[in-house]
Amino acid sequence: MQSTKNTLPFAFLLLLVALFFVFANGEPYFSTFNTPTSGENQRGINDFSETWGTKRLLAEEQNDVNSSLVLAEERTARKDPLNGLKKYRGGWNISEKHYWGSVAFTAAPFFIMALAWFVIFGLCLSLICLCYCCCTREPYGYSKLAYALSLILLILFTVVAIVGCVVLYTGQAKFHHSTNKTLKYVVRQADTTAEKLRNLSDDLASAKKIAVAQVFLPVQVQSDIDEIQTKLNTSSYDLSEKTEDNQDKIEHVLDIVRLVLIILSAVMLFLTFIGFLFSIFGMQCMVYTLVIFGWILVTLTFVLCGVFLVLHNVTSDTCVSMNEWVENPTAHTALDDILPCVDNATAQETSIRSKEVTSQLVNVINQVITNISNINFAPNFTPLYFNQSGPLVPLLCNPHRPDFTDRVCDPKEVALINATQVYSQFVCQVSPSGICTTTGRLTPDFYSQMAGGIKLSYSLYLYGPFLVELQDCTFVRQTFTEISHEYCPGLRRYSNWIYIGLLMVSLAVLLSLVFWVVYGRERRHRVYTKTLIARTEVDKSS
């Protein structure tokens, strides 16, 4: 993995997404998640932890029965050098070294070409150099056809090289834009996730202080809330930190890639142009200097070409795999190894528990309202009497029915979203002994406790479905669908552009180099023949 970090930003993007969910979706805090319930639910919690375990086991057993899905099977069937060049059949699996081996092997032709070019052209250059210095043979054998042909080919390859540079430059600009957009999307998803986790954690933290809850909720449940809250907080901070860290690293790599490609296309353009001019004007010394530079640059370009081919292949494999994974929600795949999703039933369990907690908190608040606030007790009813007076406090709306389906609020009820605001109108001023001295049915103390309860149940109501989505990977599926539909086509197209641009540039510059030399030779022969003819004519006439 270490080596891929620098060359395969896209795979890293994917890893980043995966990491989020490894974090956001780890087991411990969700298995105790459904705890803020009253005593009878303690049993429910234990059941829940147990069902979690067995369900996971069951799911795994099922996977053994049903053959697991090989992601991007056709695309990834490549020769594997780590396994005697046999076809690799394991599909997309970034924890599999044979996958990386077989993908990297697709670049082998380029690396071999680079090496061959470096050695062969190097030998040719030294040979030419030797001939040039030692055997000062008289050049002969001028042919008009060879001269014209070499000139035409020289011009052709120069044009192709220039076009290649343009393709490369545009390709890198578009690729950078594309990766930037993808990165931004992934980071935004991570940030929203972290923020939601943090919001829930904060609400749990404030709920901890509710005295109402302290009365109605068992001590152990309260300590469970504490634990969950801390874990949500920690994972939220970890997620933010990791996102920022990885974002910086990926941006850095992308910037380097971009810079290298820009410099390469500019240098190649300059080289082709200058080399063409020098060659046309017969400045042999300069041409040979440029040929040496070109020799090394072409080697580098071949290597880069191979690297981008690998990048392009990994990007395409990943895109295809994401798509297949999204389309086959029940199959076991290599992506499930990095994204610990739970099965649907377990996720539904979480959903039910969070709805249960919301309902219970609403019920507790409504009991307080009906049995204490809305009753005008006689002054001798000391613990419950605090001089309640004025209009009755409306009941809080329970968003769920007892069977946990969604429920529409009664017009007389107050919705969770603005309950805090509505109840603030019923707060009275109190004497030091805690007795209302003005009209009102809630003491400030009562009110703040109710507000805490309302905040928690609203928070659970709001973020419960999100937690479930995190847990059963619906959220990841949505993210992957978005990536594979919105961002993959661009990433694939432009990594391909860069690859084609690099290939064009390297081949065209390679051939240009050859024809600089060939044309230079033909030109010399032509000049020599011409002067020879001129001299013989002068000899004849004299």
List contacts with ligand NAG (CB under 6 A). 62, 65-66, 68, 90, 93, 95-96, 176-177, 180, 184, 192, 195-196, 199, 201-202, 205, 233, 237, 329-330, 333-334, 337, 344, 348, 367, 370-371, 387, 389, 415, 417-418, 421-422, 435-439
Comparing CB distances to ligand NAG, the nearer of 272 and 443 is 443
Comparing CB distances to ligand NAG, the nearer of 62 and 536 is 62
Contact 86, 80 (CB under 8 A): yes
Contact 90, 99 (CB under 8 A): yes
- Tell me the closest approach of the beta carbon of residue 303 to ligand NAG, in angstroms: 26
- Tell me the closest approach of the beta carbon of residue 495 to ligand NAG, in angstroms: 16
Comparing CB distances to ligand NAG, the nearer of 31 and 350 is 350
Contact 150, 522 (CB under 8 A): yes
- Tell me the closest approach of the beta carbon of residue 106 to ligand NAG, in angstroms: 19
CA distance 49 to 45: 6
CA distance 178 to 148: 44
Comparing CB distances to ligand NAG, the nearer of 66 and 536 is 66
DSSP secondary structure, 440-491, as one string = BSB-HHHHHHHHHHHHHHHHHHHHHHHHHHHHTTHHHHHHHHHIIIIIHHHH
Q: What is the DSSP letter of 392?
A: P
Which residue in the block uniquely carries the two structure tokens 């009813």?
381
- Tell me the closest approach of the beta carbon of residue 246 to ligand NAG, in angstroms: 13
Residue among 397, 408, 476 nearest 189 (CA) = 476
Comparing CB distances to ligand NAG, the nearer of 300 and 409 is 409
Q: Which helix H or strand E contains 145, and what residues bound it? A: helix 144-207
- Tell me the closest approach of the beta carbon of residue 217 to ligand NAG, in angstroms: 14
Q: Give me the count of residues in the chain.
A: 542
The number of beta carbons lying within 10 Å of the beta carbon of residue 541 is: 6
CA distance 359 to 363: 6
Q: Structure tokens of 345? A: 């039933």
Comparing CB distances to ligand NAG, the nearer of 51 and 529 is 51
Helices 108-133 & 488-541 angle (0-180, nearest 10): 20
- Tell me the closest approach of the beta carbon of residue 108 to ligand NAG, in angstroms: 22
Comparing CB distances to ligand NAG, the nearer of 126 and 389 is 389
User: Which residues make beta-bridge pairs with 406?
Assistant: 400
- Tell me the closest approach of the beta carbon of residue 361 to ligand NAG, in angstroms: 15
Comparing CB distances to ligand NAG, the nearer of 124 and 173 is 173
Handedness of CA 337, 341, 343, 346 (dihedral sign): positive
- Tell me the closest approach of the beta carbon of residue 280 to ligand NAG, in angstroms: 38
Which residue in the block uniquely carries the two structure tokens 């996971």?
56
Comparing CB distances to ligand NAG, the nearer of 73 and 96 is 96
- Tell me the closest approach of the beta carbon of residue 244 to ligand NAG, in angstroms: 12
